Amino acid sequence: MTRPDLASLGRGTSWEGIRAVVGGLGVSGFAAADTLQHLGAEVIALDDGDDDRLGEKATLLEILGVDVRIGPGSTATLPDGVDLVVTSPGWSPSTPILLEAAGRGVPTWGEVELAWRLRGEDAAPWLAVTGTNGKTTTVQMLESILRAEGLNAIAVGNVGTPVLEAVMNPDPFDVLAVELSSYQLHGSSSISAEASVVLNVAPDHLDWHGGIDAYTADKARVYDRTRLACVYNVQDPVTERLVEEADVIEGCRAIGFTLGIPAAGMIGLVDDAIADRAFIAGRVSSAAELGTIHDLARTGEETPAPHIVANALAAAALSRAHGVSARAVRDGLRTFTPDSHRIAQIDRIDDIGYVDDSKATNPHAAQASLQSFEHVVWVAGGLTKGASFDELVIAARDRLRAVILIGADRAVIAEALARHAPDVPVVEVDTGDTDPMDRVVEVAASFARQGDTVLLAPGGASMDQFRNYAARGDSFAAAVHRLRGGS
């Protein structure tokens, strides 16, 4: 059987005669099915779920002419005569239907790869962001900076708005700030960003990728074919190594960002000032000021946490690679407001702070969060995805007043605490199928002292007990408000 030449297809050509399977009907899967049908392909959408929200999506797609197959067993086998599979970011490479596609020689793309191939002429350049932690904050800072320059820019990708939706928008954008997860990068093979960054690399999603080497290799894909600037984290040598090994477009520069004083070719800090020694003519002997860390006042802390400052430096480097002015960097950081559930102060009761960092879904993120506070009652647990907590506990044990554990994999954290912080009180809260947060907050308050922080920074995913990390954070906040009402 002769396969069609998919490389010749774009947004301006007909996809008639192409039989495409879209795996998973999440936000990106829905966008892929809708777009491919619009282009003329015969589309089969598959999802094992069967809830009401999925049913609504299925009905919409069926009205458009998509063959939708949902419910248990729908993804058990690949339909016959398929020319292309567009896969959900949540489907691991070991998913049987993807292995079947590979065995049949059927190309498999992610939604982001499809979006790249459909950009069209004079398409908006991509400024691409990945890393274990800080991706969403960085792309939102980047969006704020680009808009301060007067550009029609939008943060897309893993941040919420599908890249495909932005690419197919009839009113084109000037530039896209693209957040890319390791899942999305795994399904991408031709993206050529204008500038790209790996913020940091720490063990995460090892169950999906099969190990740290495969996870790191997928992160490294963001640098391949980068055209102007590969941005790396001076404090994380792995990211610099990935730049050194990347296959980039000739003339692309390596740009470091650092919490220290920047060398030539870097952006960093001189006292409280953000200093650019990468994108100015006299960078060998001088620097341009892009603002100060106090421009990040809206992040909620008088002195922003180091990882927040690092995110700002990365966003500044990407925006400067795109040609944005120093003034726009300063103004964009001043107007930036972080997402909820990211080190969000919920309340202060009896001089005890209650902070929601439910978005800290791996040990690296939780460790950064813990290091933002002097004394902490730590609320942790969930689905740990094969990660180790030993390094986190060793780094944070002197800050821990007590630890309250929830979720399916709480024993993983309890064992790390027993090994490295045996004197720290640990309470496991198991409320069965009911929401644990009222009990969690009650127990945490009993350990906290004046000046302490009760910190929800779980270090694990939420889906064992909650719909998502936002629902977990909302539950924690509601429990804190009920504590306030009863105090």
Lowest mean pLDDT among 150-154, 207-211, 359-363, 429-433: 207-211
**Which has more pLDDT, 369 or 254?**
254
pLDDT at position 97: 92
Task: Give the rounded percent of residues in the chain with a pLDDT score beyond 90.
Answer: 63
Q: At the fourth CATH level, which superfamily is domain 344-486?
A: Mur ligase, C-terminal domain (3.90.190.20)
Give dist(CA 380, CA 457) in Å, integer.
6
Sequence-distant (6+) residues with CB within 8 A of 60 are none
Q: In the chain, which segments carry CATH 3.90.190.20?
A: 344-486
User: Do 291 and 274 touch, CB atoms closer than 8 A?
Assistant: yes
1 pLDDT more than 60:
no
Give dist(CA 257, CA 279) in Å, integer.
12
pLDDT one-digit tens code per residue, 259-274 = 999 999 999 999 999 9
Strand boundaries in 164-265, DSSP class E: 175-179, 195-198, 229-233, 253-257
**Sheet with 67-70: strands ordered across:** 67-70, 42-47, 19-23, 84-87, 108-110
Cα R_g (the chain), whole angstroms: 23
Question: What is the token pair recorded at 447?
Answer: 């350990």
Would you list the DSSP string of 90-153? TS-TT-HHHHHHHHHT--EEEHHHHHHHT--TTPPPEEEEE-SS-HHHHHHHHHHHHHHTT--E
**Which of 307, 335, 339, 333 has the alpha carbon at shortest distance from 320?**
333
pLDDT at position 183: 84
425 pLDDT more than 60:
yes
pLDDT at position 210: 63
Q: How confident is residue 178, by pLDDT bands cut at 50, 70 and 90? A: very high
Q: Does the domain at residues 17-106 carry the CATH identifier 2.40.50.100?
A: no
Average pLDDT over residues 385-409: 91
Question: What is the token pair recorded at 341?
Answer: 């559930």
Would you list the DSSP string of 354-411? EEE-TT--SHHHHHHHHTT-SSEEEEEESB-TT---HHHHHHHGGGEEEEEEESTTHH
pLDDT one-digit tens code per residue, 387-397 = 889 989 998 99
Average pLDDT over residues 32-36: 94
Q: In the chain, which segments carry CATH 3.40.1190.10?
A: 115-335
What is the sign, positive or negative, of the torsion defined by CA atoms of 211, 392, 361, 166? negative
25 pLDDT more than 80:
yes
330 pLDDT more than 70:
yes
pLDDT one-digit tens code per residue, 221-243 = 999 999 999 999 999 999 999 99
User: Do 347 and 480 touch, CB atoms closer than 8 A?
Assistant: yes
Q: In the chain, which segments carry CATH 3.40.50.720?
A: 17-106
User: Do 237 and 201 touch, CB atoms closer than 8 A?
Assistant: no
Compute the mean pLDDT over every residue in the chain, rounded to the nearest whole number. Answer: 90
Question: What is the token pair recorded at 113?
Answer: 């790869």
Instruction: Please name the amino acid found at residue 78.
Output: L
DSSP-based helix, strand, coil % in the chain, nearest 5: 40, 20, 40
Would you list the DSSP string of 256-288? EE-SSPPPTTEEEEETTEEEESSSSTTTTT--E
Grouping H, G, I as helix, E, B as strand and the rest as coil, residue 69 is strand
**Which has more pLDDT, 295 or 187?**
295
Give dist(CA 326, CA 319) in Å, integer.
10
**Which has more pLDDT, 295 or 301?**
295
**Which of 376, 411, 413 has the alpha carbon at shortest distance from 396?**
376
Classify residue 461 by its DSSP letter. Answer: B
Q: Which CATH architecture has domain 115-335?
A: 3-Layer(aba) Sandwich (3.40)
User: Do 426 and 243 touch, CB atoms closer than 8 A?
Assistant: no
> At 108, phi and psi to the nearest 5?
-120, 120
